[in-house]
Structure 1
Amino acid sequence: MIVRPRPHWLRLLFVWRGSLLLRILPQLALVVLLASAVTLSHGELADRKITLTATPFTLIGIALAIFLAFRNNASYDRYWEARKLWGVLLIESRALARQLLTLPKQAPEHTHAAIDLIIASVVALRQQLREENKPAELAGWMSAAEFARLQAARAKPSFILLLLGERLRALREAGALSDWLLPPLEAHIDALSAAIGGCERIAGTPLPFAYSVILHRTVYMFCALLPFGLVDSIGAMTPLMVGFVAYTFFALEAIGEEIEEPFGTSANDLPLDALSRGIELNLRELRGETDLPLPPQPIDFILR
C-alpha cells in the first residue's frame, strides 16, 4: 500500500507508482493507435464510411460511468471492511494481552505463551490471506508440541485460537485465572475469531464474475467504437480525446479489480506485513520488552 503526503499538483500529474498507468498502458496504446488509424482513414472501413453520431456514446457513457461507480463502490466496501477487521484484530489483541498481564495471580510462563499465540494467530492469518507457506514464521511463537499439532490444521488462525483457549485453561488450573475473569477473556478471543472469519469471507467471496465480464466488454467496445463517433466532428484531435476517455475508463476498471482483493501485494492493497508486524511489536512492548524496532509504516515518500 502507498500512503504519501499529497504532492504538488504538477508532480501529481506525473506520478507513476500506484497510478495503474503501467498496467493499462498496452490496451491504452492499442486504442490510441486504432483512433489514429480511424482519423487517417476519415472513418472509412473497407471503403465504407462508418457514420456514428455522439448520441449513442453519450447514453452509453452515462450508463457505463454509473456501472463503473457501482463496481468501484462495491470493491471499496470490501477494501474498507478488510481494513476495519484488521483494526479489530489490533484492538482485541491489545485488550486481551493487557488483561492477561494484569491478572491478580500471574503464571508468567502461561501468560507470555498466551501472548505469543495471539501474535501467531495474526501472522497465520496474514499467511493464509496471501496464500503463503512460511512455517518458520510461526514456529517461534509456540511450543514444539503446539507447532506439531498446527501442521495438520487447515484453518491455522482458528486452530491457534484453540491453542490460546487451552492456555487460558492452563492459567485457570494454575490458579492465576478465576471463574469470573474467564468470560471477559473468552469474549476477546471470540472477537478475534469473528475478525478472522470476516477476513476469510472477503478472501473467499469475490464479486460475481458476471459484473467483471459485462463491464470489461462494454468498456472495450465503447473505446473501440468511439473514434468513429468523434472523427467527423473533431478530426485530428480524435486520438487525443479517445486516449483521455479510454484512460479514465480503463483506470477505473483496473482500480476496481485491484482493491476487490484487498489482501494482495499490489501497490493499492492493504499493507498486511506492516499491520501484522505492528501488532506483534505492540504486544511485545506491553509485556515489557525493550529495544524494539519502530513499527513499520506503509508510507512511501518517493514518487516514481
Structure 2
Amino acid sequence: MHLGKHYKVSEFIVWTRRQIYLLLAVGVVPVLLYQVLGLRWLTIPLTVVGLLGTATSFIVGFKNVQTYNRTIEAQHLWTSILNSSRFWGTSVRGFIAHPGDARELVDRHVAWLTCLRYELRSPRPWETVNNASNAEYRDAYRIPEQDVALESELRKHLGAAEHGRVCDAKDKATQVLWLQNSALKRMLDEDRISLTVYVELNKVQKEFIDQQGRAERIKNYPYPRQYAIINTLFVWAFCILLPFGLLKEFDKLNEGIGGLMQGCMVWLVIPFSATISWMYTSLEQVGESTENPFEGSANDVPITLIARTIERELKELIGATDLPALPVPVNEIIL
C-alpha cells in the first residue's frame, strides 16, 4: 500500500516506459509507409477508429471497476479479521483464568494469521508481480514474507509438537484452526473453561474459518480470463489502428502550414497517437496491478501490517512484554 499522496509522475512514466517504447514503434510504421513509401491509400476513416476507441473505453472501464472492487473487498475482509481478532483477544482475557492458557490461545491465533498471510503471498500463474515493470519496481520496497521463512516465524508462536504438525500440513492455516479448536475442547474437558465460554469462543473460530475462505477465494480465483483477454485485444487493436486513422487528418494540416514543417505534419502522428494510446494501456496496466490484492505488489492490501498490529494488541491485552515491532514504510510503501 502506498502511503504518500500519490505516485510521482516520473515513477509512473518509468513504470510504463516499455509500453511507451512499443507505442512509439507502432506509430512509426504507418507513418513510414504513408510518408516515405507513398502508400497514401493506407488509411482508415477516423470514425471507425473512434467507434473502436469508445468500445475499448467501456471494456477498460469495466475491468478497472471490477479489479478495484476486488481490492476493496480484500480491505474489508482484513478489517473484519482485525475486528474479530480484537474480540477474540478481549474474550480470552475476560474468560480464561489461567495466564498460560490465555497466552497459548493468543499465540496460536497469531500463528494462524502468519500462515494465512504467507499463503496469500504465495505466487499464482496469473499474477503480474513478476512482470518486468513490476519486478523492477519491487526493488523499491520489501515483501516481509520473502525475507523470513514461514517455519522461522511459526517457531515464535507454536510449541515444537504443534510446529511440526503445522509445517507438515498442506493447508497450514486450517491446521492451526484445528489445533485451536482441539485446545479449547481440551480446556472444556479439564474444566478450565465453562461450556458457555467454549461455545462463544467457537463462534469466533467459525468467523475466522469464514474469513479465511473469503481470502482464499480472492487469492485463488482471478478476474475472469475471458474478460482479461478481450480487454487486451481491444486495447491493442485500438492502439495499432489509431495511427492509420490519424494519417489523413494530420496530412490535411499541411495545407495551411509553411516553412520547415511544410509537408511534414504527418510525422506528428507518432507522438500524438502514442500519447492517446498510452492513456489506454496505462489504464489497463493499473487494472492489472490492482487485480490481485495479495500478490506482493506496491498496491497490495497491507496484510503484514494488519497481522502485526493484531499481534501487538492481543499480546498487550494479556500482559505480554515481547511486543513485535510494526513494519515501517520503505519509499512510502508498506505491506
Normalising by structure 2, what TM-score? 0.80
Give the drift of 1:95.
Answer: 0.5
Give the drift of 1:115.
Answer: 0.3
Q: What residue number does 1:116 align with? A: 107
1:212-231 mapped onto 2 (5 Å cutoff)? 212-231=228-247
Give the drift of 1:96.
Answer: 0.6
Deviations 1:94-126 (A, max 9, x none): 1111111111x6122121111001111011001
Q: What residue number does 1:128 align with? A: 119
Tell me the distance in 2 between the aligned counterparts of 1:206 and 1:45. Answer: 46
Tell me the distance in 1 between the aligned counterparts of 2:205 and 2:75. Answer: 19
Q: Cα–Cα, structure 1 residues 115 and 45, in superposed 2: closer, same or farther, change >3 Å?
A: farther
Could you tell me whether the CA contact under 8 Å between 1:97 and 1:115 is conserved in 2?
Answer: yes
1:76 corresponds to which of 68, 71, 90? 68
Give the drift of 1:289.
Answer: 3.0
Give the drift of 1:137.
Answer: 0.8
Moved over 6 A (4+): none
Give the drift of 1:299.
Answer: 7.6
Q: What residue number does 1:159 align with? A: 175
Letter in 1 for 2:85: S
Q: What residue number does 1:193 align with? A: 209
Q: Cα–Cα, structure 1 residues 44 and 190, in superposed 2: closer, same or farther, change >3 Å?
A: farther
Give the drift of 1:27.
Answer: 2.8
Letter in 2 for 1:219: V
1:1-304 mapped onto 2 (5 Å cutoff)? 1-5=1-5, 12=8, 14-16=9-11, 19=12, 21-42=13-34, 47=39, 49-103=41-95, 106-131=97-122, 134-234=150-250, 235-290=266-321, 292=323, 295-296=326-327, 300-301=331-332
Alignment RMSD (CA, Å) = 2.3
Could you tell me whether the CA contact under 8 Å between 1:4 and 1:299 is conserved in 2?
Answer: no
Could you tell me whether the CA contact under 8 Å between 1:274 and 1:295 is conserved in 2?
Answer: yes
Deviations 1:195-239 (A, max 9, x none): 111011111111221212121122112111111111221334322
Greater mean alpha carbon deviation, residues 109-118 or residues 176-185: 176-185
Could you tell me whether the CA contact under 8 Å between 2:88 and 2:201 is conserved in 1?
Answer: yes
Q: What residue number does 2:261 align with? A: none
Normalising by structure 1, what TM-score? 0.88
Q: Cα–Cα, structure 1 residues 206 and 45, in superposed 2: closer, same or farther, change >3 Å?
A: farther
Tell me the distance in 2 between the aligned counterparts of 1:240 and 1:26. Answer: 15
Tell me the distance in 2 between the aligned counterparts of 1:45 and 1:22. Answer: 34
